[in-house]
Structure 1
Amino acid sequence: MRIIVPMAGMGKRMRPHTLTVPKPLIPIAGKPIVQRLVEDIAKVCQEPIEEVAFIIGHFGEEVENDLKEIADKIGAKGTIVYQEEALGTAHAILCAKEALKGKVVVAFADTLFKADFQLDTNADGTIWVQRVEDPRPYGVVKLNDKNEITDFVEKPQEFISDLAIIGIYYFRDGEYLKEELQYLLDNDIKDKGEYQLTNALENMKNKGTKFIPAVISEWLDCGNKNATVHTNQRYLEYIKDEEGLVASSAKLENAVIIPPVYIGENVRITNSVVGPHVSIGNNTNVYNSVVSNSIIQESTSLKNGNVANSMLGNFVVYEGRQSDLSLGDYNTLTE
């Protein structure tokens, strides 16, 4: 089994946090988004993961090494592939053509999920979906009475289905997927100016490939600051009974901790209330503050703050006011 992770986008909706770090490396409950994604996919697959191919822009050697380490942690080889131009989802996946062989999961790296199923690897293909109240903003799938997908419909304005596509796909035959993606490029078949995976899915379905849905129990978006803070909240609820959420090296002095929280290595919390639903990265100092429902990254200093529903990046210095914040790396804000 292989996992293909397209993640070359600029993450503009997450600025300023993505000015210095690719969006999939922003931490959720102490681990990068893409690490959470890869680990959760591995849990629902019934076979070992042989390779994880990360499709990226030129993010630098440090990021590439971090991605390879994420693959290594699930016992897989990490491969770095570059997408030089943003030409659509089909083009992005095809950049990893060397990894498109055998059983393949394609997962776009701006979404997380909670699933209570084991992936049926004998199916031709599986589209991961969730039921939504209002399907109009999404791509959806329509099913027949055999639970097979008959149609892919983009942003239906009249009700067709409430099963929204979340951006994770399984293919039993990666080589076949590669052929269909290459066909789109060779024949310049575009939708809205880009080469789209949904066109390949439609072609495969029309040739007899049977796609089935895999319905997840929760779909967590990481597209903007508020969504990412909410995802951090939900993830902390998932893992609240795990050991090690508060590092043994953390120093808590006159501190009240309200679970669930994640507190990293060498964090110092003094005269403060932290939680619930707070993640604090390594080497961060919190002094004389109240923090709830927030993500604070590494090596940051927070003093005299009353902070909620916020994201603070790495190496931030923040002092002094009640706020709903989104501060990128290396910012200083004081009163």
Structure 2
Amino acid sequence: VMPMAGQGSRFRRNGITLPKPLIEVGGKPFFWWATQSVCRMAPVGRMIFVVLKEHVRDFAIDDAVRHHYPDALLEVLDEPTGGAAETAARGVACAAADLPVAICDSDHAFAAFPGTTAMLATADASLLCFTSQNPAYSYVRFDAGGEVAGTIEKQVVSSSAIAGCYLFSSPEAFLAPYERYRENCPYDEYFVSGVYDELISLGGRVVAQMLREHLSFGTPEELAALIGNGREHDLLAWAA
């Protein structure tokens, strides 16, 4: 499931009116890099992209998705939601009930270690992470025993930054805690990572797994840094 119904306000402030998932790096749109990252990690059955009606009307985002993924399912929203978790929930509701679900942001690319998704056989959910100390990201909180105790937004409480690909053992493993999160969310928008806190409070087991590589291009600054540091070559190598 790929939530793509945001406004991309930071890029718009920089004069880019194209919806963020359609911005290109390395000759491909952002959403393609994110989707291919998931496809390299594990076999993917149903692909669900959640988009805005205005982006269909003004930018043909549906055609862009189907150009790369002809069998994709598109869930079209009339208006923006209260955050990525709410957008994701619309897509997860369309997922197969008996299979694991990956909710993946459209503005990053990654390479996972072999066997990453196998952890869902013994855990209810997994947080994919990369090493950082940058307060721009969200982070995993660990308890004294090293188990995942929760998540926190924009505060460096560990070295495990949350990458933006969220694994759940089933749609229900996301949807049940999501409903509680809507009632208890301490922020002014619904973050997917916050659903994990409610899952843990319900007795669910969450694991954190480090990625082999992670590249983020979710802001104009990150995109410029990626290009300026020559990391486009890494993306192109992954696509080969």
User: For this structure pair, what is the TM-score category when the shorter chain's length is used for normalisation?
Assistant: 0.7 to 0.9
TM-aligned CA deviation for residue 210 of structure 1:
1.3
* Seq. identity, %: 21
Instruction: Name the residue aligned to 2:34.
Output: 37
Q: Contact between 1:17 and 1:23, CA under 8 Å: does it hold in 2?
A: no
Q: What does residue range 43-192 of structure 1 map to in structure 2 within 5 Å?
A: 43-45=40-42, 48-58=43-53, 59-60=55-56, 62-72=60-70, 76-82=71-77, 84-96=79-91, 97-99=93-95, 101=97, 102-121=99-118, 122=121, 123-132=123-132, 134-143=133-142, 148-156=147-155, 160-185=157-182, 188-192=183-187
Q: Which moved more, 1:30-39 or 1:145-154?
A: 145-154
Amino acid at match of 2:45: E
1:24 aligns with 2:21: yes
Please identify which structure carries the higher helix content: 2
Ranges in structure 2 where 5+ consecutive residues have no aligned partner: none
Partner of 1:220: 215
Structure whose alpha-carbon radius of gyration is higher: 1
Counterpart in the other structure of 2:204: 209
1:38 Cα deviation after fit: 0.4
Q: CA deviation at 1:27?
A: 1.5
Q: Could you tell me how far 1:145 is from its partner in structure 2?
A: 7.5
Cα displacement string for residues 108-159 of structure 1 (whole angstroms, at most 9, x for unaligned residues): 1122223333322323211011111x25333211335875312323333xx6
Q: CA deviation at 1:194?
A: 2.8
Are residues 1:11 and 2:13 paired? no
Alignment deviations for residues 1-37 of structure 1 (CA, whole Å, 9 cap, x no partner): xxx1111112122235641x21111122111110111
The CA distance in 1 between the partners of 2:238 and 2:3, in whole Å, is: 31
Alignment partners' CA distance in 2, 1:87 and 1:147: 32
For residues 170 and 67 of structure 1, the distance between their equivalents in structure 2, rounded to whole angstroms, comes to: 22
Q: Deviations over 1:35-82 (max 9, x none)?
A: 11101111111xx3121111111212632022123333xxx5332332
C-alpha contact (below 8 Å) 2:101/2:169 kept by paired residues: yes
- For residues 224-303 of structure 1, what are the structure 2 equivalents within 5 Å? 224-232=219-227, 233-240=230-237
TM-score, length basis structure 1: 0.61
CA, structure 1 residues 148+22, in 2 after alignment: closer, same or farther (shift >3 Å)? same
Q: Counterpart amino acid of 2:157?
A: I
SS at 1:128's partner residue? Answer: strand
Aligned amino acid, residue 125 of structure 2: G
SS at match of 1:214: strand
Distance 1:14 1:124, change over 3 A: same
Structure 1: runs of 5+ lacking an equivalent:
244-335
Q: Structure 1 residues 113 and 31 mapped into 2: Cα distance closer, same or farther (>3 Å)? A: same
Indicate how the Cα distance of structure 1 residues 242 and 80 shifts in structure 2: closer, same or farther if over 3 A, else same: closer
SS at match of 1:106: strand
Structure with greater strand share of residues: 1
Matched pairs, number:
229
Which residue pairs with 1:308 in the alignment?
none
CA distance in 2, matches of 1:71, 1:93: 19
Give the TM-score, by structure 2 length: 0.82
3-state SS, counterpart of residue 188 of structure 2: coil
Give every structure 1 segment of 4 or more consecutive aligned residues whose post-TM-superposition deviation is greater than 4 Å: 144-147, 240-243
Contact map agreement 2:65 2:72 (CA 8 A) in 1: no
CA change 1:51–1:240 in 2 (3 A) is: closer
Separation in structure 2 between the aligned mates of residue 71 and residue 147 of structure 1, nearest angstrom: 39
Q: Is the contact made by 1:138 and 1:165 (CA closer than 8 Å) also made in structure 2?
A: yes
Q: Give CA deviations for 1:165-197 in whole Å, capped at 9, x if unaligned.
A: 121110011123112223444xx4332333343
**Structure with more relative contact order (C-alpha pairs < 8 Å, separation 6 or more):** 2
Whole-angstrom distance in 1 between the partners of 2:239 and 2:110: 18
For 2:220 and 2:138, how far apart are their aligned partners in 1?
Answer: 23
